Amino acid sequence: MFIKVRKNCGIYMEHNGLEQRHLVPVTSNFLINLTHVAEISFYTIKETKVRFDLEHHEVTVPPHTRVIHLQMNYLYGSYKETVNDKKARLIDRCFYKLYF
């Protein structure tokens, strides 16, 4: 099963491949395979939030904006072999947030 996201002027995306608190507009259609998603959350923003675009201009996210938060499974994570100068493995799972 897939989620199809269509390009639209009102949909923005945030993911952990970007710098923190950065949003990008969805400019092309894409599919998300739900078999690769571990957790899905739906919520509405209650207060105004400030985010940034790729050129570091402020983007204001208004209240009552709906958000879908997709946490991917461990196959779509990045691994760090050393944590605090110790040999360990830390898995940083990918996530996607869709604002609309």
Per-residue pLDDT tens for 5-61?
888 778 999 988 788 889 988 889 988 888 888 899 999 999 999 999 889 899 999
Domain total in the chain = 1
Domain range spanning residue 78?
2-99
Q: How many CB atoms lie within 10 A of CB 99?
A: 20
Task: Please tell me the pTM assigned to this model.
Answer: 0.77
Query: What's the rounded mean pLDDT across residues 69-98?
Result: 74
Identify the band that residue 1 occupies on the pLDDT scale cut at 50, 70 and 90.
confident
N-to-C CA span, the chain: 22
Task: Please state, in angstroms and rounded to a whole number, the distance separating the CA atoms of residues 97 and 69.
Answer: 4
